[in-house]
Structure 1
């Protein structure tokens, strides 16, 4: 393999395959800390589905609320950022939404634009896992482009969902989480930064901003 091939494969394995799922896990816990009643509901569901503390969730249907939380987190904080370029068909072009796009034109789809579209999502900027529950919620998953779509859909999507399900269920089942200062959690514990383009990143000041009590549950 050439150096370029090695670099490309490392990018896929380390960044696309690892950093993305870890970012989602952090953001799931972040949103649950922000919404204690949701945290309690997730943990209650997991403790009913996993009576023994060391059990691991292998059937996502046994924890529908956790799965709804994961999907809603990925909707608001996608595991990838930016836009995905695609070329319009080089010979015939393509018509989208009544507009003709000439052959060879580069088309870029906005993940944030899709996930925050008010024509698709009611109260699009609100964290509401309920929107992914029940038959209607299952249908709404088709409006997510977390893993892209079509012939170039992410080949690791099933592994990513398996990792998210197993790790988050184990962590949330076995441990309790609480912010250092509960009174400030709703305001400045995880402060969103005004942004022009939604980008998934790590925290800039982890020693200051990621102080959380973690304790072993019974």
Structure 2
């Protein structure tokens, strides 16, 4: 009898595994012995980026596999990435930890832009990009805000580098970048040591650490694992999300109390509240739905515009420290425009091709977010002859596009001149650090301004030198985000 029960149990288990974890006919090539819940995690190993690249090498530019319990497809060819990212059937985002969010849409979907879908995403994205493209909301002019924050940071670094003391540059940019965002969103100028800014930075850092660890990554894609990890205190997702949402809601409530809808908006929150009051604004702006979207957009902007930019700037100063001759050439490029007697503005960026090429090469070499944000098929569809079932997660392999040796000769080398042709800035079609398609990085406009202004200000204020004049290693820590190993610099004042 026991034998029959065990046999029946085994048969049910095999049927369940076949139904749940066997790929359908026509699915892209890839591993075919996925484990329940874990999927192909053991095949990927402890570093998901390296693991996915091994799948690409073995199976090709379109690979089908299981990412935890989710069926997934990795796309690595640039032309294929562009095609996939413009297909309506692959435009959605997968649900991302809704269990830990206070503010959801009435139908249970995620609000905001980063992880919302459908008409909600369309309306919120259109409004937000329009406002960011305008470069300002009344007094909070975006370029001026970034210039002010960059100058404050440089003055802070000048104090730290008195007597040519060594400066630990890792994590130095985050609070400054977040502060610039806070001012654009709230029009409030606050100190770098303000508790709210420090709190946001701490929470973003905790979430970044969660996402970079194998356990944290699994928790993000397996709801049951996420809940268990949160309850056990291993990954405190509920505290991270709730605390950040509370900070954002506090700023919104303050604006609702003192902003008259007929006034000129002072910042993004004012502009949103004013738009929300217009009957023709769209259903996603009305009532509680609108407030939930506003909270989520603030979080999306912090996530999109802080960690990746601060990491890119960290890589920029590291690469500059190892290349004193490049620093000289960049300053000469700038001085041809400014006459060496003033700071260059972001509006003059097209006049300094080497600076633009340097920034793009930093983004290519640093490759801080090699997988971008995931997509999801919203219906059964076909891609390059392969069948992609509804609900399949799509991973655009941006890191491969940025390091494809068929496009970038010797991609492991740092060569800004590869982006210059006939003396002009000429980016490669594969130079896509912000992704492609309608769902490319929300903070692209802001990020480009920040990178240009911070890099040029640092070059203006300092000669950047490595510790003991020994080259700093230019290899990343093996995590989901590309971080350099901790290092220190000597910042020699120039002005």
TM-score where L is the length of structure 2 = 0.38
Q: Alpha-carbon deviation of 1:145?
A: 2.6
1:3 aligns with 2:102: yes
Q: Which residue of 1 aligns with 2:462?
A: 175
Partner of 2:374, secondary structure, is strand
Mind listing any 5+ residue stretches in structure 1 that lack a counterpart?
none
1:61 aligns with 2:350: yes
Partners of 2:362 and 2:430 in 1: how far apart? 14
Q: Which residue of 2 aligns with 1:38?
A: 326
Which of 416, 433, 449 aligns to 1:129? It is 416
- In structure 2, relative to structure 1, the CA distance for the partners of 1:101 and 1:200 (3 Å cut) is same
Which of 173, 190, 197 aligns to 2:473? It is 190
- In structure 2, relative to structure 1, the CA distance for the partners of 1:33 and 1:113 (3 Å cut) is same
Check the 8 A contact 1:45/1:65 in 2, yes or no.
yes
Check the 8 A contact 1:46/1:173 in 2, yes or no.
no
Q: Alpha-carbon deviation of 1:146?
A: 1.3
Q: For structure 1, which segment, 41-50 or 159-168, has the greater mean C-alpha deviation from structure 2 after superposition?
A: 41-50
Which of 297, 310, 326 aligns to 1:22? It is 310
Mind listing any 5+ residue stretches in structure 2 that lack a counterpart?
1-100, 105-244, 246-294
TM-score where L is the length of structure 1 = 0.79
Q: Alpha-carbon deviation of 1:88?
A: 3.6
For the aligned residue pairs, the C-alpha RMSD in angstroms reads 2.6
Partners of 1:194 and 1:216 in 2: how far apart? 30
Q: Which residue of 2 aligns with 1:101?
A: 387
Check the 8 A contact 1:131/1:137 in 2, yes or no.
no
Q: Alpha-carbon deviation of 1:192?
A: 2.0
Partners of 2:329 and 2:307 in 1: how far apart? 27
Q: Write out per-residue CA displacement over residues 113-157 of structure 1, whole angstroms, 9 at most, x where no aligned residue.
A: 2211122221111111111112696250x2123112111112221
Check the 8 A contact 1:27/1:77 in 2, yes or no.
yes
- In structure 2, relative to structure 1, the CA distance for the partners of 1:36 and 1:215 (3 Å cut) is closer
- In structure 2, relative to structure 1, the CA distance for the partners of 1:15 and 1:200 (3 Å cut) is farther
Structure with bigger gyration radius: 2
Partner of 2:426, secondary structure, is helix
Check the 8 A contact 1:53/1:174 in 2, yes or no.
no
